Structure 1
């Protein structure tokens, strides 16, 4: 592997690191000071040798470097040895470089300069690599993807228990994505000292680096690199910690404390020393873990560079963190908000925070107190149990209560609420906490209890602490004075009891146990004592042994001992009658919903948002709270009209970092084989079949026992046994964290294996699994299979009228095709695929992005010169434009479609285009044209030349033509002639089970019945239409069907029902973007309100119709609107009868132009009624007689609503004769 020497000054370290990481990612080996300097040998000699051995020298040329003698020596050394230079210019131009550093000019000669521009360091790295290759300097095997950072760490000197854990599971850790916290620390002061030789500086810094390393390892951090006068460390890898960011901050603060003494010693020598620490949290990929525990990590994004920038921009003596780290540690530490900081190579400034110090909190619930706790709900039964046990303990019957529950279920909150409910003076309360990193600290929770008992504070000196211990022991009982020595020892105080010190370790341990027991018993004699030990799953062995011993003697004590732990901890005590257990499980759904709503207190949470949060968090209180806050903070929830709604796709929601840490740490504690199984299962999905998992893992008998173990550990549950064995992750979030921990490469491979397993296992009924196969292959590298099953899933969805799903599958299939090389065959495949999208797009009301798809489709057909495809596409574009209210353009496309079909001379193609021309002319109210085209198009079917199952884009041509013919005849007033055609179309559609065609035909029949005045039939056919349109998912006309359902009730005089249905129809129509049909709905509402006497709202609706008609130039739709407007005007003010007559006569005139007798007859009726009321008898009689004659001519049953209404008007006219 080619080695590249990197020459730089310390101030340019972050830039140099980015370049080094980019080169290493490409497969080059790098050498730079001080990472590669070995202790014990002159660093100058090592630099000289490194230049000798390198194949190229990258010079970081910046104003910072010009004054560096060392960089100049490296430039000269490289030149003398004939090494190729790759100068990277930072904030300087080539002429400025030659002017300000003439010593370099000769060495660099005519070397091409690489100037870092707006594209940043990655672009410079690319140019360096190109230059290296041009000179024949080739890389070895690349370690990661370009733009990532490769880090090496070693855990050889880590604590033994950590090493053992890593070795036990290292193969399952390799190739995992981990969320880590990166710490950079740099001791500033040495580099600027002019009094010291560089080798002296190196010797002086070593003790500082040693104690920095000690503190990092104390908190189970991993050393990554030694950098100049500092270091870099990772927390949370290779083994995940749920509190990795906290550990990094505790380590940083500990380093600062120890540095103070070290710096004071140096100050006496005239050396000023200050430490800058920068911290950031982000993702890395765990690489290979070798036998000597050397590990490689690949940083994702700016995980490392941002941590470096935090250190580089911090003031000396400060700990500076990025926002990611702050968010996860807020509440545990005090911070100063530093605002936004400009960071190199990032477009946007970064919000940063200075760590002030730790808060006196160690648990999540204590940290939450500062920002307020959510309401305590759903735990009354558990509270009652604790209270019962307390009452028994008060009576001298000691009790031990185990409170078990998963992380976040509210164990600590339950105990807090219980203790707060007790009278303050009635009992004593002592608490001990186990910590994530405390399992190697003996007596850790017991120390908490003792410190609380003696009121000891960390800042107090030994003398005061001993005084407090003595006073307290005297208070509880002078006979306890002998316990002071063991108490002193356990609290790490000097022990002055010589006899005690002579005891062997085992005996002293017994004395310690006895001393603590006697102290607590004595405390309970004064008042009942409540002892709480939290987080036993992190407890050290010594504390566990003490508790086992202590519990054995509690039967007669006034002590309630409450022990809190997670399900993966097994207590070492059992079998006592005074032991009981509380299981803190997920909250009931109703209470969970109220908890989410209490967080979103400033508005009403939408039910689907609450359901999503509750289901995703599996009713875990902490998870629900964190998920809700996270969605609010990242803008995934928005409040509109006092209602909170999700503003992103549910699939885009990521697991909050706080929850991810908890789950990842739990997964890392699993045995290696169990972790592999759960990760593989996570790829299959939240639910997974045993047979699929078995096929992918290739495990046999061991798999069942492993799944039983995972059930016992409450990672999964058995979902079903019949018809086959299936499991489900207990928490959706656990599945997501397990899934995201896998590298993309392994995910893709596993998805493909799952797809292959499904194909093999369910080969005889594969159609049931199309969607699952589409999902898995789409996430694999097998694009051929992905396209195959995405398309099949789309076809299946169309067949089942699942239109939105069909669109989604087809779009995904198109995305796969778009990723393939472009050629004519691929273009044709794309065109055929997009043609399949026509029907679901139309049925769904042409959702956003539809027009772009149709435009792209038209261009593809034109590029391919496919005239037959263009006919189908023009048909589709015609419908689109008509639906969107652009009738003229819709007509143009319909005529293009029909004319193109005629040119082919193929009957079937012509008929398939005829139904669209009928739709276009029907929409423009040219009913006579519709009737003419439909009649001619139906002839081949009626004469048995063609089968009646001919379809176009999935729609039955015969049934559609029958509907349009019947609809046209209806509009022309030929009701009796229309009915058989409508019945034929509906019957044919039912035989073919074409739900859309049934619904369409029934809608036309409902319209016919309405214009006849047959209320019952209008309702019956409208209901049939609604049923089949809803089943077909045809949103474009569902609103119209609701309006005619309202029209049916109007005919029966049921005006309130009529109004409700019509308003519902209008709302649906507006939402479905079926703009052209809004005219029908508004007109129906105006008609209903007219007869209800609500003339103002009726006029608003009809005027809206007329405005829309004018704007869209829909000349054929205005006739009925003018008739209704005239009737409203006449009824609103009888003195305006002339104005009313003009409107109605205009409507009648328009109707007669369109040969629409059903509309014209309504005009005569409405005008006749107004004239009767106005006393204009002669004209009234004339109009009513015309209406009567027309209804008779159209064959309408005299008992129906409209003829009856004519008869009633004539009767009123007759009754007023002679009364003028």
Structure 2
């Protein structure tokens, strides 16, 4: 039988090391006869080893007069650190009572250092154990006074209130990076001075949660009057959140309520829609024995039964489930954001259909969705959950969630959420739970053993040592039940903190599994849940050995078989899996991860990347994260994509520098840049940093002989340069943006000419020209760009640039056309932009198109329409996480408020101020001067003319520094209005007004000329238009 997991020769585990050193041994060797010295040292060693053995210590080795004692190997105990400290105190006392051979009245003294931590134990020679823990114990004893017992911070933390300590200060030990705080152990604590037990954990029969059950039921009963039931259970791991929910749902009367469970996963924090797709797989009854075609038939039937019968929806969900190859229509051809939206809508309908089914044969009057481990939910599922919860559905939907503290409740955007923070059990409930756990012992246990295990002393010790945390109570009860005996002590124990103590506690459980322990370790490498077929293959055990080990493992209660055909193995708690995983020797761990990474079984890219990274195959891991990022982009999930790509860059830092690493890094950066732009805006520092890094790497690769890349490097260089230009454009660094745009045009025209590059280059050139105050040039560039755009042919560009040039180009073509005096054409282009964005179903493009329409409505002096677009944009962009769109929409909403209601000027101004601040927070510099014009006008109308003038002058100074000149004539015009309102210098006001007209004329900004003249005269009549058209542009644009 091949058993590679048991063939290793190292055990990786947490141990507590006691190092005992005899004080003055050198002096003794000089004063004593050799035979007396031998007798003295022999008595010393025997006494130390004997005392240590009484407390469960294992003599590892002796070095001269120094003795190493290990606690936690070969058999772990949940209180190894406590045993070590008690042993140290006893050794110091008993060695001092020893005499010195040949020296009447002479005594011995020792110094004892104790440290707790991870070590590698050589199974062939435990004396060859290595790790910093051994060195630390020796270093600690070296700074002690004779007779002292000193402990490390970890040992003190684990032993807790069992002892009284005296702080000795922090010491800079050789070989340790940071000073180590050392405490001497004064004595074992008396009951009155012992500090309370801290954290332990467990899950078994629900005891002591009547108040929580009553709270859930009362909240549910009140939901008719308060609206939808929305409750959140928040607690640390091990408090029994899942058991509470399960008991309430199973035992309470919920009437004709359909209940649906969604389980979030730590492995899939950035896998779009994971819990919903997992539910679909479970509802369809997919098994590993099904081939892809059979799986699809099951999924299709399930979707049809729940009302998801549209061919496109089924096709997209097949793709999300990895079954596109067996769908009759193959993979969907929709753009990624559209696929993401279709999947969301289809899964929402599937959930509605599932919840609408009769509950236990009764008519479904209401529905309850249980979402467990909300802290691990992916952004797309969180967004869907928020939408689902706030929508209007029948039957009425209740939502019950569980999370750890600092979960994602604040991101849900829900109101009136009832939150229950679960705490520890009280003393009576702890005793009741301990008794309940022990009562459920195996019927084969003898009466005498059962009596020992159920002794009141046993139960009281369990309750005293677990601080009311259910998982701790359960684990300690299981150990006592298995042993059927209790070693009682007169004093209370103090529970160590996680992970130190729980590691010891569960390590003892793992050690008791025998060879099945290695099966638990293999399972932990695969995650907190794994398939039995995969575990069987990874273990390479014979069928009989595997089944025997599996039975032992399941019987221990540490894991359970789950799934419809019980094909999955799940650890009952994440901390159990973590303990098993951390105990695997590193080399073996790396080997197992490597084997999983090489497994041909289809896995999500992010899971493969995880195994590759843990296998220290960092370059391959980065490549897998890149594929995961691309997959997320193609699913329209930018948050998840950014997380995957960032993890890829982190993995890449562990790979040696060189061309292979540079290539992968460039690919990661080239996708992370646009993704960051979508999430944070083009002016954000994060986006700029990524684009600069990518551009510099591109240039370096070109200089270092990038020819071997051929067209590949050029293909990546162009969108990276576009992104860098976009960043400088967003920062209003228009000279630099213009230089890069010119290079883009040159590259696009370089043989072989590329329509796609030409389109992108003129798009960027047009946007730069617009903000530089050159509307005619902008219009020419943008007309060429829009003219080249073909929605279907250029759909493949979206995953590269994460923008659609048809929508983006029409946005700025509408703006430049308006400024050039073509108002109707501008309105038409803005409308076309929105129609195209809606057709493409790209959320980011839709947000851009909304901006185009609200701005054009503002410039047409249609505040009602502008506010309508602004409100739509705020709601839409808030739900999709586009901060710059929300910011501009708030500015325009504030302007519209000021125009529509003179009594709400302050409210409108506040909206504009807040929107401007949000815009600036994204790093966007363009448009701020126009926002300043709108704010100044409101301030002036409120009679705060000095503030209005200060705002205009501030914006004038910053635009001169940066280069945005599109709104200079409007700034001059507002200055003129302020000066006229102050009635200080009418001639200066008139001169400013004339400069504004002339500047607008010099720029070719016909619309600005007419606006400036109309506002000065206070009426839109022919006289204003005549003044604008006859103004002589005697000065050049600044």
Q: TM-score range by the shorter chain?
A: 0.5 to 0.7
Is 1:342–1:350's contact at 8 Å kept on the other side of the alignment?
A: yes
Aligned counterpart, 1:192: 27
- What is the 5 A alignment of 1:927-942? 927-940=775-788
1:375-414, Cα deviation, whole Å (9 max, x unpaired): xxx96858999xxxxxxxxxxxxxxxxxxx999869xxxx
Q: Are 1:295 and 2:198 matched, yes or no?
A: no
Question: Shift of the alpha carbon at 1:583?
Answer: 10
RMSD value, Cα: 4.9
Find the partner of 2:640 among 780, 805, 821.
805
CA distance 1:985–1:538, shift in 2 (3 Å) = closer
Question: Shift of the alpha carbon at 1:284?
Answer: 0.3
- What is the 5 A alignment of 1:240-255? 240-255=76-91
Find the partner of 1:350 among 180, 194, 199.
180
Q: Are 1:896 and 2:739 matched, yes or no?
A: no
Q: Are 1:216 and 2:46 matched, yes or no?
A: no
SS in 1 for 2:31: coil
- What is the 5 A alignment of 1:502-651? 545=448, 548=451, 563-564=459-460, 585=470
Quick one: higher RCO (CA 8 Å, sep 6+), 1 or 2? 2
Q: Are 1:879 and 2:726 matched, yes or no?
A: yes
Question: Shift of the alpha carbon at 1:969?
Answer: 0.7
- What is the 5 A alignment of 1:554-953? 563-564=459-460, 585=470, 656-673=499-516, 675-690=517-532, 692-697=534-539, 715-716=558-559, 721=564, 729-756=571-598, 759-760=600-601, 763=602, 769-782=604-617, 785-814=620-649, 827-845=662-680, 846=684, 848=686, 849-850=689-690, 851-863=692-704, 864=706, 869-904=716-751, 906-908=753-755, 909-940=757-788, 953=801
- What is the 5 A alignment of 1:305-384? 305-346=135-176, 348-361=178-191, 366=196, 381=210
Question: Shift of the alpha carbon at 1:741?
Answer: 2.0
SS in 1 for 2:97: helix
Question: Shift of the alpha carbon at 1:1079?
Answer: 4.1
Question: Shift of the alpha carbon at 1:359?
Answer: 0.9
Question: Shift of the alpha carbon at 1:279?
Answer: 1.7
Aligned counterpart, 1:275: 110
Of residues 838-847 and 779-788 in structure 1, the stretch that sits farther from structure 2 once superposed is 779-788
Is 2:92–2:109's contact at 8 Å kept on the other side of the alignment?
A: no
State how far apart, in whole Å, the 2-side matches of 1:739 and 1:1096 are.
Answer: 68
State how far apart, in whole Å, the 1-side matches of 2:460 and 2:947 are.
Answer: 66
Is 2:96–2:108's contact at 8 Å kept on the other side of the alignment?
A: no
Is 2:773–2:966's contact at 8 Å kept on the other side of the alignment?
A: yes
Is 1:801–1:1033's contact at 8 Å kept on the other side of the alignment?
A: no
State how far apart, in whole Å, the 2-side matches of 1:406 and 1:1082 are.
Answer: 49
Question: Shift of the alpha carbon at 1:531?
Answer: 14
Is 2:939–2:945's contact at 8 Å kept on the other side of the alignment?
A: yes
CA distance 1:200–1:549, shift in 2 (3 Å) = closer
Q: Are 1:1112 and 2:1001 matched, yes or no?
A: no
SS in 1 for 2:76: coil
CA distance 1:1096–1:813, shift in 2 (3 Å) = same
SS in 1 for 2:742: helix
Aligned counterpart, 2:202: none
Is 1:729–1:735's contact at 8 Å kept on the other side of the alignment?
A: yes
CA distance 1:1061–1:697, shift in 2 (3 Å) = farther
CA distance 1:344–1:814, shift in 2 (3 Å) = closer
CA distance 1:713–1:1068, shift in 2 (3 Å) = farther
Aligned counterpart, 2:924: 1074
SS in 1 for 2:19: strand
1:773-803, Cα deviation, whole Å (9 max, x unpaired): 2222332255575344322111122223433
State how far apart, in whole Å, the 2-side matches of 1:1109 and 1:563 are.
Answer: 76
Is 2:997–2:1028's contact at 8 Å kept on the other side of the alignment?
A: no
State how far apart, in whole Å, the 1-side matches of 2:160 and 2:661 are.
Answer: 54
State how far apart, in whole Å, the 1-side matches of 2:136 and 2:181 are.
Answer: 11
Provide the TM-score with structure 2 as the length reference: 0.64
1:849-875, Cα deviation, whole Å (9 max, x unpaired): 423344333322343265665443332
State how far apart, in whole Å, the 2-side matches of 1:222 and 1:538 are.
Answer: 30
Provide the TM-score with structure 1 as the length reference: 0.55
State how far apart, in whole Å, the 2-side matches of 1:1097 and 1:725 are.
Answer: 71
State how far apart, in whole Å, the 2-side matches of 1:241 and 1:906 are.
Answer: 73
Of residues 782-791 and 181-190 in structure 1, the stretch that sits farther from structure 2 once superposed is 782-791
Question: Shift of the alpha carbon at 1:811?
Answer: 4.0
SS in 1 for 2:151: strand
CA distance 1:934–1:731, shift in 2 (3 Å) = same
Question: Shift of the alpha carbon at 1:222?
Answer: 1.4
State how far apart, in whole Å, the 2-side matches of 1:688 and 1:1066 are.
Answer: 50
Aligned counterpart, 1:1173: none
State how far apart, in whole Å, the 1-side matches of 2:617 and 2:118 are.
Answer: 27
Aligned counterpart, 1:970: 818
State how far apart, in whole Å, the 1-side matches of 2:872 and 2:780 are.
Answer: 28
State how far apart, in whole Å, the 2-side matches of 1:1030 and 1:1167 are.
Answer: 38
State how far apart, in whole Å, the 2-side matches of 1:1165 and 1:829 are.
Answer: 57
Find the partner of 2:120 among 281, 285, 304.
285
State how far apart, in whole Å, the 2-side matches of 1:257 and 1:906 are.
Answer: 89
State how far apart, in whole Å, the 1-side matches of 2:971 and 2:593 are.
Answer: 59
SS in 1 for 2:73: coil
Aligned counterpart, 1:177: 12
Question: Shift of the alpha carbon at 1:1084?
Answer: 4.2
State how far apart, in whole Å, the 2-side matches of 1:717 and 1:1016 are.
Answer: 62
State how far apart, in whole Å, the 2-side matches of 1:1003 and 1:333 are.
Answer: 67
Question: Shift of the alpha carbon at 1:364?
Answer: 7.8
Is 2:198–2:496's contact at 8 Å kept on the other side of the alignment?
A: no
Question: Shift of the alpha carbon at 1:280?
Answer: 1.8
Is 1:183–1:280's contact at 8 Å kept on the other side of the alignment?
A: yes
Question: Shift of the alpha carbon at 1:971?
Answer: 2.4
State how far apart, in whole Å, the 1-side matches of 2:547 and 2:590 are.
Answer: 25
- Unaligned 5+ residue runs, structure 2? 200-206, 215-234, 241-427, 473-494, 708-712, 1031-1038
Q: Are 1:237 and 2:73 matched, yes or no?
A: yes
Is 2:115–2:151's contact at 8 Å kept on the other side of the alignment?
A: yes
CA distance 1:884–1:257, shift in 2 (3 Å) = same
State how far apart, in whole Å, the 2-side matches of 1:948 and 1:189 are.
Answer: 82
Q: Which has the larger radius of gyration?
A: 1
CA distance 1:249–1:1008, shift in 2 (3 Å) = same
State how far apart, in whole Å, the 1-side matches of 2:212 and 2:829 are.
Answer: 73
